[in-house]
Amino acid sequence: MKVLVIGGGGREHAMAWKISQSPRVDRVFVAPGNVGTFFDAENIAINPLDFPKVIQFAKENKVELVAVGPEQPLCAGIVDALRSEGLRVFGPSKAAAQLEGSKIFCKNTLKAGLIPTADFATFTDADAAMDYLRNRDDLPVVVKADGLAAGKGVYVCKNREEALQAVQEMSVDMKFGQAGTKLVIEEKLDGQEASVLAITDGKTILTLPPCQDHKAAWDGDKGPNTGGMGAYCPAPLVDEKMLHWIEENILVRTVHVMNRQECPFSGVLYAGLMIGRQGVKVLEYNTRFGDPECQPLLMRLKTDLVDIMEATIDRKLDKLGTVEWDPRPTVGVVMASDGYPGKSEYGFPISGLDEVAKMPDVKVFHSGTQVNDKGEIVNAGGRVLTVTAFGDSIALAKKNAYEAVRKIRWERAWCRHDIADKAIAMEIGSN
Ligand code: AMP
Ligand code: GLY
């Protein structure tokens, strides 16, 4: 069969790479893809938001499964648009993707399901938000733009002044465009974050092994927020007992409330969690695989991803049987361009990829890469590669990933050096 993956980041490279391993698949197309998917699949130059073009391509090429990676096309309704043309698509409908596309919708859904989350208030104008901040205790709060802002629309504020400034930037200066017209202001939670992803058909929930991302730019979780600088799987912070609790008290309830709200959820339900003294609370929902979590996660998946996606579309996840995972943990380190998450310079040739391709148990997933007119692979985005490796322990997976990272070079490339250290500290502690 032929499969079309929508998107062009590290997540979509991992999805296309895994899907291409299915014995049932002859061709995998990626729209628009990147250099990694050029080698592991076939790129097609179509913008994911150009639905008529996507539909035309899928029909002309007899695509039997479309798998959507990023949130923008999901929130814009790609699944509804393609389904209405008779295509089979893995991902949530536009209505269900609001769980990610609107933080107000997400918080109200959590509240309706009695699902643990930070206390919050919602605002539809800046004046009301500022009045609220002036009239409450000067506690740390988190100000969030309601709409999609590429992970940047969340400000954790130490005091009232910072919070007022956040409201000013989001709702008055409109730093994130329309995304900031409405706001959520919520209690700041403390603890460690984990990502628990599940695949659901709206009836059955397949909870995947927990992961941990590293959202801050620099070592020790310092510096500005990014799209994610590295991830590993599984995350020992979420042990089996806790995972079961999360499934029962968070995932099941969410799927149930979504059904009750008449926007049944189908696809990847990704709970961003804070685990601390207050217990486990939901920070946010995403409605797709995480990037970079997807890379270490899918590297461990042994069951055919196409079977899982088709069972989800057909609402037959209950018939899928046991999903198998490689028992070895994986660690993925993001290599970024100088300046990321701010402005970066692009076009520097990347060396070492051929050498790393020969390393066993290592896979390099591409995000911001391009081929220049000399045929060299160059950096072309903030996050450039996710260098992902297996190991017999998390510590060994980290060692293997960084061994590969050291072989890859371009001018002013950088990465965090402490990916998975929190888990390694727990591994050592438990021995
Ligand atoms: P979100 O997009 O809602 O996940 O927020 C992005 C990041 O902001 C999270 O990964 C957390 O690091 C941080 N964050 C969001 N909400 C809170 C909160 N209530 N308390 C503390 N940190 C938060
Ligand atoms: N890794 C965070 C995200 O995908 O939103």
| pLDDT band at 205; cut points 50, 70, 90 | very high
Better pLDDT: 153 or 208: 208
| 331 and 396 Cβ atoms separated by less than 8 Å | no
| pLDDT band at 430; cut points 50, 70, 90 | low
Task: Kindly give the distance from the C-alpha atom of residue 8 to the centroid of ligand 2, in angstroms, as a whole number.
Answer: 15
Residue 243's contacts (CB-CB under 8 Å, 6 or more residues apart) are 196, 207, 210
Number of CB atoms found within 10 A of residue 401's CB: 30
Query: What b/e sequence results for 251-270 when a residue is b if at least 16 CB atoms lie within 10 Å of its CB, and e otherwise?
Result: bbbbbebbeebebbbbbbbb
348 found inside a domain: yes
Task: Kindly give the distance from the C-alpha atom of residue 154 to the centroid of ligand 1, in angstroms, as a whole number.
Answer: 7
Same domain, 197 and 168: no
Q: What is the CATH number for 147?
A: 3.30.1490.20
Q: Whose CA is nearest to atom 3 of ligand 2?
A: 290
111 found inside a domain: no
Average pLDDT over residues 195-200: 98
Does 357 have pLDDT greater than 80? Answer: yes
Q: Which ligand has the nearest atom to the CA of 118? A: 1
Same domain, 313 and 366: no
- Give just the sign of the alpha carbon dihedral 212, 216, 217, 222: negative
Better pLDDT: 138 or 9: 9
Q: Which ligand has the nearest atom to the CA of 153? A: 1
- pLDDT of 178: 87
Q: How far apart are CA 159 and CA 142, in angstroms?
A: 10
| 3-state SS track over the chain | CEEEEEECCHHHHHHHHHHHCCCCCCEEEEEECCHHHHHHCEECCCCCCCHHHHHHHHHHCCCCEEEECCHHHHHCCHHHHHHCCCCCEECCCHHHHHHHHCHHHHHHHHHHCCCCECCEEEECCHHHHHHHHHCCCCCCEEEEECCCCCCCCEEEECCHHHHHHHHHHHHHCCCCHHHHCCEEEEECCCCEEEEEEEEECCCCEEECCCEEECCEEEHHHEEEECCCCEEEECCCCCCHHHHHHHHHHHHHHHHHHHHHCCCCCCEEEEEEEEEECCEEEEEEEECCCCCCCHHHHHHHECCCHHHHHHHHHCCCHHHCCCCCECCCCEEEEEEECCCCCCCCCCCCECECHHHHHCCCCEEEEECCEEECCCCCEEECCCEEEEEEEECCCHHHHHHHHHHHHHHCECCCCECCCCCCHHHHHHHHHHC
Same domain, 390 and 288: no
Q: What is the CATH number for 310?
A: 3.30.470.20
Q: What is the CATH number for 70?
A: 3.40.50.20
Locate the ligand 1 atom nearest the alpha carbon of residue 190 and give its number: 21
* Ligand 1, pocket residues at CB < 6 Å: 118, 142, 144, 154, 156, 186-189, 193, 215, 272, 283-284
Percent of the chain with pLDDT over 90: 90
Does 429 have pLDDT greater than 70? Answer: no
Q: Whose CA is nearest to atom 19 of ligand 1?
A: 188
Percent of the chain with pLDDT over 70: 99
102 found inside a domain: no
Same domain, 218 and 285: yes
Q: Which ligand has the nearest atom to the CA of 191? A: 1
Report the C-alpha dihedral over residues 322, 328, 332, 333, rounded to 10 degrees: 170
Q: How far apart are CA 148 and CA 209, in angstroms?
A: 26
Q: Choose one of 137, 153, 181: the last residue of a domain.
A: 181
Residue 146 Cβ inside 6 Å of ligand 2? The answer reads no
Locate the ligand 2 atom nearest the alpha carbon of residue 293 and give its number: 1
pLDDT tens-digit map of 270-316: 999 999 998 999 999 999 999 999 999 999 999 999 999 999 999 99
101 found inside a domain: no
Within the chain, what is the greatest distance between any pair of CA atoms? 62
Q: Identify the domain containing residue 335 by its residue range.
A: 330-430
pLDDT tens-digit map of 71-102: 999 999 999 999 999 999 999 999 999 999 99
Same domain, 197 and 313: yes
230 φ/ψ sector (left φ>0, alpha ψ -120 to 50, else beta): left
Locate the ligand 2 atom nearest the alpha carbon of residue 290 and give its number: 4
Q: Which ligand has the nearest atom to the CA of 291? A: 2
- pLDDT of 224: 86
417 found inside a domain: yes
Locate the ligand 1 atom nearest the alpha carbon of residue 186 and give its number: 19
Does 431 have pLDDT greater than 70? Answer: no
Q: Whose CA is nearest to atom 5 of ligand 2?
A: 290
Q: What is the CATH number for 419?
A: 3.90.600.10
Average pLDDT over residues 142-165: 90
Residue 310 Cβ inside 6 Å of ligand 2? The answer reads no
Same domain, 425 and 343: yes
Task: Kindly give the distance from the C-alpha atom of residue 277 to the centroid of ligand 2, in angstroms, as a whole number.
Answer: 24
114 found inside a domain: no
Q: Choose one of 296, 319, 342: the last residue of a domain.
A: 319
Same domain, 206 and 312: yes
Chain centre to alpha carbon of residue 396: 24
Residue 213 Cβ inside 6 Å of ligand 2? The answer reads yes
Number of domains the chain is built from:
4
Q: Choose one of 148, 181, 214: the last residue of a domain.
A: 181
Residue 137's contacts (CB-CB under 8 Å, 6 or more residues apart) are none
Task: Kindly give the distance from the C-alpha atom of residue 268 to the centroid of ligand 2, in angstroms, as a whole number.
Answer: 12
Locate the ligand 2 atom nearest the alpha carbon of residue 151 and give its number: 5
pLDDT tens-digit map of 395-404: 999 999 999 9
Residue 389 φ then ψ, to 5°:
-140, 150
Does 177 have pLDDT greater than 90? Answer: no
| 29 and 38 Cβ atoms separated by less than 8 Å | no
Residue 357 φ then ψ, to 5°:
-60, -20
286 found inside a domain: yes
Residue 193 Cβ inside 6 Å of ligand 2? The answer reads no
**Residue 321, amino acid:** G
Q: Whose CA is nearest to atom 16 of ligand 1?
A: 283
Give me 261's structure tokens.
């709200």
Same domain, 250 and 297: yes
Does 321 have pLDDT greater than 60? Answer: yes
The answer, yes or no, to whether the previous bond of 292 is cis (omega within 30 of 0) is yes
Does 180 have pLDDT greater than 90? Answer: no
Task: Kindly give the distance from the C-alpha atom of residue 193 to the centroid of ligand 2, in angstroms, as a whole number.
Answer: 12
Q: Whose CA is nearest to atom 2 of ligand 2?
A: 290
Same domain, 67 and 134: no
| 281 and 118 Cβ atoms separated by less than 8 Å | yes
In the block, residue with structure tokens 């290599």: 335
Task: Kindly give the distance from the C-alpha atom of residue 389 to the centroid of ligand 1, in angstroms, as a whole number.
Answer: 28
Report the chain's mean pLDDT, rounded to a whole number. 95
Same domain, 342 and 422: yes
Q: Whose CA is nearest to atom 5 of ligand 1?
A: 154
| 9 and 288 Cβ atoms separated by less than 8 Å | no
Residue 368 Cβ inside 6 Å of ligand 2? The answer reads no
Task: Kindly give the distance from the C-alpha atom of residue 220 to the centroid of ligand 2, in angstroms, as a whole number.
Answer: 19
Task: Kindly give the distance from the C-alpha atom of residue 283 to the centroid of ligand 1, in angstroms, as a whole number.
Answer: 6
Same domain, 18 and 65: yes
Same domain, 408 and 367: yes
Closest CA to 211 of 225, 239, 231: 231
97 found inside a domain: no
Ligand 2 pocket test: which of 71, 99, 144, 195 has the largest number of ligand atoms within 8 Å of its C-beta?
Answer: 195
